[in-house]
Amino acid sequence: MKSIIVLGAGPAGAAVALGLRRLGYPVTLMSEWRRFAALEGVSVRVLEALRGARLHRALADAALPSQRQVSWNGQQHAQNIEYLLDRPGFDRGLREDLRLAGVELIEARVLAVRTSATGHLIELEGREALAADFLVEARGRQAPALGKGLRGPETVSLLNRWQGTPGHTASAVESLEEGWVWMARRADGQCYWQWTVDVASAGLPGKAQLLEHCRLRREASALARGFFAGAPEVDLQLHARSSTAILSPQVCGDNWIRVGDAAMAVDPLSGNGIFQSLSSALQAPTVINTLLRKPERAALAQRFHQQRVEQLFLRFARIGRDFYADEQRWLDQPFWQARRNWPDGQVAHAEADFSAMKIERAPVLKDGFVDEAEVVITPDQPLGIWHVQGVELAPLVRRLQVEPAGQVLAGLSVEQARVVRGWLLAQGFTP
């Protein structure tokens, strides 16, 4: 059995490790654990994706429901409930999920990775080097770059954290002239204020003055003053981190794969970071299984992963672009100018057009491997859709071009016919 090492124990690395264990592979995971407390806002969809990845213990005590306030383009409203994910508690649960699945965990700093056609040698601080046949790179933005990929406007997020007065859980988002802010507070009084700005135009002071600079900006916001109720900021800390959108130029080889932020890291406004990390990670075990057990399909497996990572990145980037374009008050400010038209002018979600559908052969996931099959290409799904409710769509769409819909759907079960009919109508099909 091939040896597999996963670098990075975030949601992406953990999801790949658990998926590989379900396929019977022995897996070793190496990571440096998070060194500072963090809080993240996630949606119900993210929680469902985490459960789908079987990260049950990670979720057990980590998510706190919160009504989110939004102040954008001069308008204020309450959006849907978001959940505040306590990352230290979440990370402890991740380790327990991995341990129970039989994943070997090594806490160590990776000094270097030496890769060849025959395998990988991972050099560790204070430990002997380890060899692996296959490597999963899941160290997020800390993963070494593989060359010049696609990059968005250079962006930095300044996270302020402090101890405030205990109260109720809440979160908020606010657009400002120089960028935007996400803020949150927990019932125990832990407070978070993260300001995302443009690196080139923000005019930030030196490190020693950054905390005071952030505090003054916070005090200038009526929303922030009301949100934190003017309570004293005890043990105020600052963490600066890049939040530039980055797409790696290559995300898969014959004996390695990149997942999560190591493959693509999106702007924090584009969509939840955990969701996009899982989106690229959940398909990875099947891709790896194909590379190791069916090497004759290596090119197909690599194309499948590369195309889907690229498509996910562009979709998230366009969603973020549209959010930025909604803010109309500061059209001439560098932060908003640089982001309202990036990455391109294509719509995030194309309108349905049944007449524009095409049928092509493309890589798909089938019986634990990457295979090739006929898929239906739609304006909103350029990589194609293979089946819905277990029904292959290409033969069905072909028949619909020459046969009545009732006749085509007659051989399906009641539930299949209901779901397929709904999909067809959503694609602009007129019976």
Total domains present in the chain: 3
* 128 and 236 co-located in one domain: no
Q: Quick check: 119 and 133 in contact, CB under 8 A?
A: yes
* 171 and 121 co-located in one domain: no
pLDDT at 210 > cutoff 80: yes
Residue 43 burial class via C-beta count within 10 angstroms: exposed 0-12, middle 13-18, buried 19 and up: middle
Q: What is the dihedral of CA 392, 378, 315, 29, to 10 degrees?
A: 20
pLDDT at 35 > cutoff 80: no
Can you give the pLDDT at residue 84? Answer: 87
Q: Is 341 within a domain?
A: no
Q: Looking at 307, 335, 363, which one is the last position of a domain?
A: 335
* 34 and 134 co-located in one domain: yes
pLDDT at 278 > cutoff 70: yes
Can you give the pLDDT at residue 269? Answer: 82
* 143 and 177 co-located in one domain: no
For the record, the structure tokens of 354 come out as 């049944």
Q: Is 167 within a domain?
A: yes
pLDDT at 363 > cutoff 90: yes
Q: Is 176 within a domain?
A: yes
What whole-number percentage of the chain has pLDDT above 70?
98
* 282 and 263 co-located in one domain: yes
Indicate the helix (H) or strand (E) that contains 7.
strand 4-7
Q: Looking at 285, 308, 335, which one is the last position of a domain?
A: 335
pLDDT digits (tens, 9 = 90+) for 53-98: 888 888 886 677 888 899 999 999 886 788 888 888 888 899 999 9
* 25 and 93 co-located in one domain: yes
Q: Is 109 within a domain?
A: yes
CA 110 from chain center: how many Å?
A: 23
In angstroms, the CA 7 to CA 10 distance is: 9
| Res. 271 pLDDT band, cuts 50 70 90 | low
In angstroms, the CA 26 to CA 17 distance is: 9
List phi, psi (to 5°) of 201: -110, -5
For the record, the structure tokens of 95 come out as 């380790």
Can you give the pLDDT at residue 124? Answer: 94
**CA R_g for the chain:** 23
Helix, coil or strand: residue 27:
strand
Residue 109: how many CB atoms within 10 A of its CB? 12
Can you give the pLDDT at residue 238? Answer: 94
The CATH number of whichever domain residue 200 belongs to comes to: 3.30.9.100
pLDDT at 199 > cutoff 70: yes
Indicate the helix (H) or strand (E) that contains 134.
strand 134-137
For the record, the structure tokens of 290 come out as 């194909």
What whole-number percentage of the chain has pLDDT above 90?
74
Host domain of residue 408: 354-426
The residue with greater pLDDT, 80 or 255, is 255
Can you give the pLDDT at residue 12? Answer: 94
Q: Looking at 205, 221, 242, which one is the last position of a domain?
A: 242
* 39 and 142 co-located in one domain: yes
Can you give the pLDDT at residue 3? Answer: 94
Q: Which one, of 363, 390, 357, lies nearest residue 376 by Cα?
A: 357
The CATH number of whichever domain residue 36 belongs to comes to: 3.50.50.60
Residue 311's identity, in one-letter code, is Q
* 214 and 232 co-located in one domain: yes
Give the residue-averaged pLDDT of 227-248. 92
Q: Is 340 within a domain?
A: no
In angstroms, the CA 38 to CA 209 distance is: 22
In angstroms, the CA 171 to CA 231 distance is: 16
Half-sphere exposure of 271 (CA within 13 A, CB side): 24
Q: Is 293 within a domain?
A: yes
Can you give the pLDDT at residue 268? Answer: 85
* 137 and 160 co-located in one domain: no
Which has the minimum average pLDDT: 229-233, 298-302, 321-325, 416-420? 229-233
Helix, coil or strand: residue 68:
strand
* SS3 track for 362-427: EEEEECCEEEEEEEEEECCEEEEECEECCEEHHHHHHHHCCCCHHHHHCCCCHHHHHHHHHHHHHC
Half-sphere exposure of 382 (CA within 13 A, CB side): 13
Q: Is 344 within a domain?
A: no
Q: Quick check: 305 and 257 in contact, CB under 8 A?
A: yes
pLDDT digits (tens, 9 = 90+) for 99-130: 999 999 999 999 999 999 899 999 999 999 99
pLDDT at 272 > cutoff 70: no
Strand partners, 370: 365
Which has the minimum average pLDDT: 57-66, 201-210, 317-326? 57-66
Token pair 């007449």: residue: 355
String of b and e for 395-426 (b: at least 16 CB within 10 Å)?
Answer: ebbeebeeeebeebbeebeeeebebbeebbee
* 142 and 168 co-located in one domain: no
Half-sphere exposure of 65 (CA within 13 A, CB side): 4
* 159 and 33 co-located in one domain: no
Can you give the pLDDT at residue 109? Answer: 93
* 319 and 199 co-located in one domain: no
Q: Quick check: 279 and 266 in contact, CB under 8 A?
A: no
Q: Is 342 within a domain?
A: no
